[in-house]
């Protein structure tokens, strides 16, 4: 009998994992709370709660995962490689630079708009016969025993019930499934919101990504398809976001970018609509409970400063798939609780390293203490000149040393 998995949460992690499982010949029932958009050729991309205005910097390992799924050809049309990374602090002497050619890699990763990534993933899921996609359905309860997990759900006025040997909870940072399991979280509010948009500059991006630490917050400028288009992610202090939003503030926003970046990108000529997202770190106390695995932002929501959150989630999914394949190979239960605990343990080292790194960067560069400022700028210089440091950091950032 063919095994079946239920995934709750149809964001980018849920869709990607569903496609991974289907390629392994596992039937998937994918439940998503919000109704998915219909895509019409020639029209602007409709934003969905998961496929929003943000962009993802896919690491080399993430690109490899999508290549293995046979999706990279479709995704590559909307992606831009990062060939260099420049790290600086406004008004300071420290700087560091990573160059793909010097590290003997094709690129450090690829930048893709989440709306495009979601569109490609959703199109593939809709075409996959082993995936049953049920959107507009709200999970209301989750229970489990030694044999199976039971989900109660509602779709309009219709009451639904599903059972499975293995349930993946990928239903976001405020996961109802996680709450139903009684799994607590450690949460830290960074007191920041991320201002996200796309800008056009007078100089071509030349596939260079900038990370610029400023008094307003750590500003990331990444290349996008189109020679002069760049993605902006700018975490600013919570409560100040109104200053940057709305068409009436377009020039004010462009002027602030210009002042922060100088002329490295030329003139900041146009900005798209700005969106804002509150920033916090949310870490689940457990990621495997009985026959349920907690994944994606439900397991760990990170600050976007290093662009590692989604890549970490994809590595989680890839490793879980290896454990499931082993169970299938020995004709064992894919929802076995001890196997899922082993998966959880296998991921802790990679997760903790990434979580600690992202949190340390935010806290370290958000402090204006003059002594710390000198130390971190000296650290940037050391990173740039000490042999062996760049290749190690680059391989971690590319997800190749998980």
Task: Convert the pLDDT of each residue in 5-42 to its tens digit.
Answer: 999 999 999 999 999 999 999 999 999 998 887 766 55
Minimum mean pLDDT range among 28-32, 111-115, 149-153: 111-115
pLDDT band at 131 (very low <50, low <70, confident <90, very high): very high
Task: Convert the pLDDT of each residue in 299-344 to its tens digit.
Answer: 999 888 767 889 999 999 999 999 999 999 999 999 999 999 999 9
> What value does the mean pLDDT of the chain take?
85
More confident residue, 391 or 241: 241
pLDDT higher than 90, residue 391: no
pLDDT higher than 50, residue 190: yes
pLDDT higher than 80, residue 102: no
Structure tokens at 313: 């989630």
Looking at residue 45, its pLDDT comes to: 53
pLDDT band at 358 (very low <50, low <70, confident <90, very high): confident
Looking at residue 228, its pLDDT comes to: 92
pLDDT higher than 70, residue 370: no
pLDDT band at 366 (very low <50, low <70, confident <90, very high): low
Residue in the block written with tokens 């958009």: 37
The percent of residues in the chain predicted with pLDDT above 70, rounded, is 83
pTM of this prediction? 0.86
Average pLDDT of span 71-89: 88
Half-sphere exposure for 395 (CA within 13 Å, toward CB): 9
pLDDT higher than 50, residue 386: no
The percent of residues in the chain predicted with pLDDT above 90, rounded, is 55
pLDDT higher than 80, residue 91: no
Average pLDDT of span 203-208: 94
Looking at residue 59, its pLDDT comes to: 87
Looking at residue 385, its pLDDT comes to: 46
Task: Convert the pLDDT of each residue in 249-283 to its tens digit.
Answer: 999 999 999 988 888 888 999 998 898 989 999 99
Looking at residue 389, its pLDDT comes to: 44
Looking at residue 43, its pLDDT comes to: 56
Q: Which CATH class is domain 5-365?
A: alpha beta
- Residue 308 backbone phi and psi in degrees, to 5: -105, -15
Cβ pair 196, 186 in contact under 8 A? no
Residues in the chain: 402
Looking at residue 362, its pLDDT comes to: 72
Structure tokens at 126: 């809709």
Looking at residue 342, its pLDDT comes to: 97
pLDDT higher than 50, residue 382: no
């Amino acid at each position: 009998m063919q095994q079946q998995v239920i995934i709750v949460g149809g964001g980018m992690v849920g869709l990607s994992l569903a496609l991974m499982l289907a390629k392994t010949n596992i039937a998937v029932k994918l439940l998503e709370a919000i109704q998915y958009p219909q895509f019409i050729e020639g029209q602007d991309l409709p934003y969905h709660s998961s496929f929003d205005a943000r962009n993802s910097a896919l690491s080399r390992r993430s690109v490899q995962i999508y290549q293995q799924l046979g999706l990279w050809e479709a995704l590559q049309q909307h992606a831009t490689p990062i060939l260099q990374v420049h790290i600086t602090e406004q008004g300071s002497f420290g700087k560091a630079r990573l160059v793909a050619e010097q590290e003997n890699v094709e690129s450090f990763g690829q930048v893709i708009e989440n709306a495009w990534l979601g569109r490609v993933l959703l199109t593939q899921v809709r075409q996959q016969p082993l995936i049953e996609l049920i959107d507009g359905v709200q999970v209301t309860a989750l229970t489990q025993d030694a044999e199976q997990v039971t989900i109660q759900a509602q779709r309009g006025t219709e009451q639904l019930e599903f059972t499975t040997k293995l349930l993946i909870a990928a239903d976001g940072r405020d996961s109802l499934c996680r709450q139903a399991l009684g799994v607590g979280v450690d949460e830290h509010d960074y007191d920041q919101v991320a201002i996200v948009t796309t800008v056009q500059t007078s100089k071509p991006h030349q596939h260079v990504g900038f990370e610029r630490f400023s008094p307003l917050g750590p500003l990331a400028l990444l290349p996008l398809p189109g020679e002069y288009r760049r993605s902006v992610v700018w975490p600013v202090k919570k409560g100040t976001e109104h200053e940057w939003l709305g068409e009436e503030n377009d020039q004010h926003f462009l002027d602030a970018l210009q002042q922060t970046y100088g002329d490295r990108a030329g003139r900041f000529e146009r900005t798209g609509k700005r969106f804002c997202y509150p920033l916090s770190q949310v870490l689940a106390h457990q990621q495997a409970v009985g026959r349920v695995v907690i994944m994606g932002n439900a397991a760990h929501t990170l600050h976007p400063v290093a662009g590692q959150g989604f890549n970490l989630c994809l590595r989680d999914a890839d490793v879980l798939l290896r454990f499931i394949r082993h169970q299938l190979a020995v004709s064992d239960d894919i929802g076995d609780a001890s196997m899922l605990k082993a998966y959880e343990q296998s991921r802790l080292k990679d997760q903790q390293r990434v979580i600690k790194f992202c949190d340390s960067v935010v806290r370290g560069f958000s402090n204006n203490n003059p002594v710390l400022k000198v130390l971190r700028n000296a650290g940037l210089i050391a990173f740039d000149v000490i042999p062996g440091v760049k290749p190690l950091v680059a391989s971690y950032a590319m997800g190749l040393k998980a």
